[in-house]
Amino acid sequence: MTNRTAFITGASRGIGRACAVALSEAGARVAVAARSADQLEELAGQVRARGRDAFPVAVDMSSADSIKEALGKTAKDFGPIAILVNNAGITKDGLAMRMKKDDWDAVIAVNLTGAFLAIQQVLPAMMRERWGRIINISSVVGESGNPGQANYVASKAGLIGLTKSIAQEMGSRNVTVNAVAPGYIETDMTSSLSRELKDKMLEHIPLKRIGKPEDVAAAVRFLASEEAGYITGHVLDVNGGIYM
């Protein structure tokens, strides 16, 4: 993937940040996108300090206009996007019976619709180049379900269906589309969980540890590589065995 441009959403922290670092180390030029401009600048500086190219770009994944503008600006100023990592995600948890429609809509808008709109923006260039890698970050709960997260689970399960559909549409153009489904990963999203809850989770993880963002990034780096050119429509579980 040397000198190919990769666009990573939700890149300011956690899994997205680890993906940006991993892809840059593999030779990609990384466009790092999120709402937080300050964190993006800091990440871009870290990547550049290692002699790699980085392009920070602000994006609101709930806004079609913002997505179109961010991807258009990246392609124009930083080069055609060959690798897209749809990582941005939010949670607004609550039992389905009491879940507000606004909380349902917000999570679906960012996690699923935003990913779809980003894919739409990058497909024309990938089709022209006859090379592309789209990697959607789903979740173990998108496969297993999880009480209190109907909106988040639906969005992550939706990403798996989206992955398989676009994979079938784009296969003849040498564009692969895959998903990575992380389990419990040590990120800001999980750091607020109580020690008791974390210990309970560990009981169900055969590898007996909570994952790191780098574990997920390694899977993303592989799926973005030339070596993964015959893999498409696949969901790669990175979950320590918690769901098989």
pLDDT in tens, the chain (244 residues): 889 999 999 999 999 999 999 999 999 999 999 998 889 999 999 999 999 999 999 999 999 999 999 999 999 999 999 999 999 999 999 999 999 999 999 999 999 999 999 999 999 999 999 999 999 999 999 999 999 999 999 999 999 999 999 999 999 999 999 999 999 999 876 777 788 888 888 999 999 999 999 999 999 999 999 999 999 999 999 999 999 9
| Radius of gyration over every alpha carbon of the chain, rounded to an integer in angstroms | 17
Q: Read out DSSP for 28-86?
A: -EEEEEES-HHHHHHHHHHHHHTT--EEEEE--TT-HHHHHHHHHHHHHHH--EEEEEE
**Amino acid at the residue 150:** A
pLDDT for res 213: 97
The answer to whether 152 is a known catalytic residue is yes
Domain with residue 210: its CATH number is 3.40.50.720
State phi, psi for 70 to the nearest 5 degrees: -65, -45
Q: Which residues contact 165 (CB under 8 A, 6 or more apart)?
A: none
Distance CA 91, CA 14 (A): 15
Q: Where are the beta strands (DSSP E) in 141-209?
A: 175-182
H/E element holding 168?
helix 150-170
Inside any domain, residue 244: no
pLDDT for res 147: 95
How many domains is the chain built from? 1
Q: What is the DSSP letter of 184?
A: S
Inside any domain, residue 176: yes
pLDDT for res 130: 97
Inside any domain, residue 72: yes
Q: Which residues contact 194 (CB under 8 A, 6 or more apart)?
A: none
pLDDT for res 40: 95
Inside any domain, residue 242: no
Distance CA 221, CA 32 (A): 15
Inside any domain, residue 243: no
Inside any domain, residue 174: yes
Inside any domain, residue 193: yes
User: What are 54's strand-pairing partners?
Assistant: 30
Distance CA 48, CA 97 (A): 48
Strands of 235-238's sheet, edge to edge? Answer: 54-58, 29-34, 5-9, 81-86, 132-137, 175-182, 235-238
Inside any domain, residue 150: yes
- Copy the structure tokens of residue 100: 């507000």
Distance CA 240, CA 75 (A): 36
pTM of the shown model = 0.97
Q: Which of 152, 184, 230, 243 is catalytic?
A: 152
> For residue 149, what are the domain limits?
5-237
